[in-house]
A and B are shown apart, each in its own frame.
Chain A
Amino acid sequence: MNSIAVEMRSVSKVFGPVKALNQASLIIEYGTIHGIVGQNGAGKSTIIKVLAGIYRHDEGSVFVGGKELKSITPKSIEECGVHFIHQDRLLVSTATVAEAIFLRNEPRFGPFINHRKMNAQAAELLKQYFDLDLDPSTLIADLSTAQQKIVQITRSLSQQAKVLVLDEPTAALVTKEVDRLFTVLRRLKEEGIAIVFISHYMSEIENICDTVTVLRNGENVGQVSPKQVGIERIVTMMTNRDTSEMYPKRSIKVGSPVLEVNNLCLKNHYQDVSFNVGAGEIVGIAGLLGSGDKEVLQSLFGLTPPDSGSIAIDGTTHQLNSSVNAVENGIAMIPEDRRAHGVAVSLSIAENISLASVNNISKGGFINRRQEAQSVNALIEELGIKTPSGNMLVSNLSGGNQQKVVVAKWLSCDSRVYLLDEPTVAVDVGSKIEIYGLINRLASEGKAIVFVSSDFEEVAEMCDRILVIYKGEMIGEYKGGEIDAEQLLAAVSGKKITINRSAL
């Protein structure tokens, strides 16, 4: 038998102007656990989605079990024995465990589903693979996330999976559940199954993977063994990039504190968070998924009010219990989900820009259209939004320009504090640079900026100060330039980083 389970040769995939995959290759052998690592936008999920038949690759070829697959559909790839446990695509919550495991493969009695047999087989499979006594008639909705993952894996195994692809399987799991999952994965490996493991967590990659493919900017920069080269080398391979042109430098002149956060607590999310942001300062909050970084931002914008603690703007304490409140007090949010929270794409640029500042341009409930056009056109020009007029629909703009519309919205109502949640998500490199320029410009105008991003390179490069949050607690604070993306990646995973301060 061929030892190579999956081979992808020089696969390329282009989305509009963005080359998501550029001649990337992947070779996965049976009986190994193969990690795929890379930063956000490196092409991890794209290469997996090509293999899963969700995207069609523009160039290159894919072999499974030595046979070339001309066209891949989600159904045909499963028939080849390659099964996917996607991060976000979970099970039908109203199904039972047994129904989820045997979906579309139910044991039959004539035209009817043989429920008794199905439940018995489901219980047996769970016992066999996971040594788990789980009532197969439990509803999926009543299971923990770890149990749901286990049900998904059991479903794949019940269909004789030969290759199992796990996308961020541990993202929502606690340590004990991760350990159990790893035990199962190791046993499956012994049985000769090829496992593809995608994770942000370097310690997990080091712990469980036999080989690792490192992707960067859509390219394959190497296949290495983490036990031989060490995790530091892999992180370097992930982040190594000429950064000087990406991040325009600016001179920092931090003014008096604008935003003061004192002992903010929100049960189950973060505890005792305190920090200040001065005028013109960019403060980054870096943390892993679920570390509480986003929740702090949500609380600062009044969306999830904290249990205790205080927030002061320009020295005055405010009770922020709604976004209305936050906006009135000069807080602006550039949300992560641009299409759901940032811009209404079916409205015009002008309508979007003046949405938060309608009060400033209206009198007695009526909008002064001339005044609106003036301020909108000024902002379009100031920020360089590429559009013939403010009456164009936002849906006609590129991602980067849409993000500029969001910034323009807040500039029009003179916000002092800017909360940036993944401001460069889903934009291409060119727009990224423009957005960095925009952020620097906000800072130079004296705005206080809080920056949250899962791209640690941009956090390390953009911020004047970086706060590290780990499991809801602030565990470290670094000055800009003091720490790089690699060290930050280690710091957010809870490792102690020693900074040689005298060297600076």
Chain B
Amino acid sequence: MTVNNKNFAPKLSVELLSNYSVYVAFICIFVVFSVVANGFLSIDNFANLIANKVVLLAIVSLGMTIVIASGGIDLSVGVSIDLASMAFIMMIGAGFNAVLAVIVGILVAACVGLTNSLLINKLKIDPFLATLGVLFIGKSVQQLATHGGSPIYLTTGAFSAPFDAITGTSLFGIPTPVWVLVVCIVAVYLALHRGKFGRYVNALGAQAGVAKYSGIRVPLQLTLVFVSCSVLCGIAGILLSSTVRSYVPLAGGAFLLDAIGATFIGTAISKERKPSVFGTILGVLLLAMLRNGLLLVGWNFFWQQVGIGVLVFIVLGLSFGLRKRTE
């Protein structure tokens, strides 16, 4: 890199803008909606936002962050969410112990990740295609298991005890699902940014050949990557079905694009454009705030999608486009 003194000042501000585009967007959205959207700036609204919108997407996005950091992508997060949810609800409905139901739900999700990693490691299929295939199969499995996709409702009082224990309890005034998210954030942060695992994952994402030539067990690391993503999705699936007290087939698919979006928006906070836990959480909050704000000003769901698309363009355009020009 050469420093051209003549253009130093404008270059610096462009660089600042490109490195802090996420924060700038965050502040802008917060300020704009605080002014124009009635009810946006209130503790109730934020508590509701976090409990209902942020927790699930954030947990799924954490999983996606691990996968994207390793240089891959997981299109089957919805399948992990749905299958965990299905197994959990079916077992509760059949009268099994709730703890057992949670464990089985997470194990079922882990199997999805295991399938992905087998396809990637053994058959050498690209993660995009491997997880796409699992996505198709997972959808069919749900439809076959539920007579073409009819939901399972457990809304009667007989089943409410386990759901109440998960969604109705709180600690220090903070609801249990939010605590679950906090635990997930800490765990993924430690693994990805402080642990050996994160080193290997980043090396894989940066240059898989170097990882291999450094004696890293690449297949094992990829298995851990995809299984941990699926497990996180499984946790999200159980929280989801506990909230709605039912299993709705194919409901998890809605998280896929938001999780990818949040992770990539999050990459804009680092100079090297690497996925990070902090960036992803920021991305999730950004998306949730934007959706909420647009809803409050009266935009319907379809226009919200347009808003998110524009946000992605602006944030990533600023950070990547400007960065290119400064190089």
Contacts and interface: CB of A to CB of B under 8 A. Distances in A.
A is bound by B: yes
Interface in A316-367: 323-328, 333, 335, 337, 339-347, 351-352, 354-356, 358-359, 362, 365-367
Interface in A387-420: 393, 396, 409
Interface of A is mostly: helix
Interface stretch (B60-68, B154-162, B190-198, B301-309): B190-198
Contacts of B272: 346, 393
Contacts of B203: 344, 347, 351, 355
B207 A344 contact: yes
Contacts of A325: 215
A362 B200 CA distance: 13
B199 A358 contact: yes
Which of B199, B200, B213 counts the most chain A CB atoms within 10 A? B213
B215 A367 contact: no
A339 B194 CA distance: 26
Closest 10 CB pairs of A and B: A327-B215, A344-B207, A344-B206, A341-B213, A356-B214, A340-B209, A341-B209, A355-B214, A344-B210, A346-B206
Given A351-B199, A362-B195, A365-B197, A333 B213 contact: yes
Given A345-B207, A362-B196, A335 B213 contact: yes
Interface in B256-301: 272, 274
A242 to B, nearest CB: 34
16 contacts: A323-B215, A327-B215, A328-B215, A340-B207, A340-B209, A340-B210, A341-B210, A344-B203, A344-B207, A344-B211, A346-B272, A351-B203, A355-B216, A356-B216, A358-B196, A393-B272
Contacts of A333: 213
B166 to A, nearest CB: 29
A335 B214 CA distance: 10
Given A340-B209, A346-B206, A346-B272, A365 B216 contact: no
Interface residues of A, number: 33
B196 A326 contact: no
A426 to B, nearest CB: 16
Nearest to B206: A344
A367 B195 contact: yes
A365 B195 contact: yes
Given A327-B215, A344-B210, A366-B190, 8 more contacts: A341-B210, A343-B210, A344-B206, A344-B207, A358-B199, A366-B194, A367-B194, A367-B196
B70 to A, nearest CB: 13
Contacts of B200: 358
A343 B206 CA distance: 10
Contacts of B191: 365
A324 B215 contact: yes
A324 B216 contact: yes
Given A324-B217, A347-B202, A347-B203, A355 B210 contact: yes
A117 B60 CA distance: 58
B199 A367 contact: yes
Contacts, number: 78
Contacts of B207: 339-340, 343-347
Interface string A266-305: 0000000000000000000000000000000000010000
A409 B274 CA distance: 22
Interface of B: 1, 190-191, 194-197, 199-200, 202-203, 206-207, 209-217, 272, 274
Interface of A: 301, 323-328, 333, 335, 337, 339-347, 351-352, 354-356, 358-359, 362, 365-367, 393, 396, 409
A339 B207 CA distance: 8
A303 to B, nearest CB: 8
B222 to A, nearest CB: 14
A260 to B, nearest CB: 21
Given A324-B217, A347-B202, A366 B212 contact: no
A166 B266 CA distance: 50
Contacts of A362: 195-196
B211 A355 contact: yes
A285 B217 CA distance: 29
Nearest to B200: A358
A354 B199 contact: yes
Contacts of B217: 324
B214 A327 contact: yes
A344 B200 CA distance: 12
Contacts of A358: 196, 199-200
Given A358-B196, A367-B195, A367-B196, A347 B206 contact: yes
A280 to B, nearest CB: 24
Contacts of A365: 191, 195-197
Contacts of B194: 366-367
Contacts of A341: 209-210, 212-213
B148 to A, nearest CB: 41
Contacts of B206: 344-347
Nearest to B190: A366
Nearest to B199: A358
Which of B191, B199, B215 counts the most chain A CB atoms within 10 A? B215
Contacts of B215: 323-328, 356
Nearest to A326: B215
Nearest to A372: B199
Contacts of A340: 207, 209-210
A362 B195 CA distance: 8
Contacts of A396: 1
A323 B190 contact: no
Which of A326, A335, A347 counts the most chain B CB atoms within 10 A? A347
Contacts of B211: 344, 355
A475 B264 CA distance: 56
A373 to B, nearest CB: 14
Given A366-B190, A367-B199, A323 B210 contact: no
Nearest to B272: A346
A289 B7 CA distance: 49
A356 B212 CA distance: 10
A409 B196 contact: no
Which of A340, A344, A362 counts the most chain B CB atoms within 10 A? A344
Contacts of A366: 190, 194-196
B208 to A, nearest CB: 9
A78 to B, nearest CB: 32
B323 to A, nearest CB: 13
